[in-house]
Chain A
């Protein structure tokens, strides 16, 4: 069965510190991997995606994600967190059936 796991329901970070939001997946074949962000009372917005190539993918708002095939992980990172980064983050691998599978989400809280 194909699945995705975001092991942390919540991540708390101080402003200016680096942040990591973790994601592991189980998808057959070569995965396509996405991160989406949801701000309060809004729909999801695309952040970045990995299809092939460089394992470090850069996306919107200074976020990046590292693809690790051996660990089947796709962790979201940012070198210096902002209060405005506080939101709900979803990892979403694409399965070979042609649909995205969304993780349960990780709430990121950045405090001043």
Chain B
């Protein structure tokens, strides 16, 4: 099983450019999440989708948009990238929202110059 697949693994952007991070899971999970990881700050939730057709803001949603395209796919879009969005981004999924175990993707390292 592939689990959670994120693309791209690495990306360099200039300030103001846009891009979309793609995430797909093959475990038939209902809930999907986007986190960012910064040194010394742990993981912070950007957006999540408890089920297909719903999305909600997390702790740090500003500057991002998401789309739950179908049950498998959950994309994260940066409309106008800023250097503060330089980070490692992780997509995760779980069977149901809440206290279930998260399965994480391998991460996408984004640098904004």
Contacts and interface: CB of A to CB of B under 8 A. Distances in A.
A41 B40 CA distance: 16
A9 B40 contact: yes
Contact of B101 (A9, A46, A105): A46
A44 B45 contact: no
Interface of B is mostly: loop
Interface string B90-109: 10100001110111111100
Interface string B39-60: 0111111001010000000100
B21 interface: no
Interface stretch (A65-73, A75-83, A95-103): A95-103
B66 interface: no
Contact of B102 (A42, A98, A100): A100
B101 A103 contact: no
Interface residues of B, number: 23
B98 A94 contact: yes
A95 to B, nearest CB: 10
Interface string B56-94: 001000000000000000000000000000000010100
A98 B90 contact: no
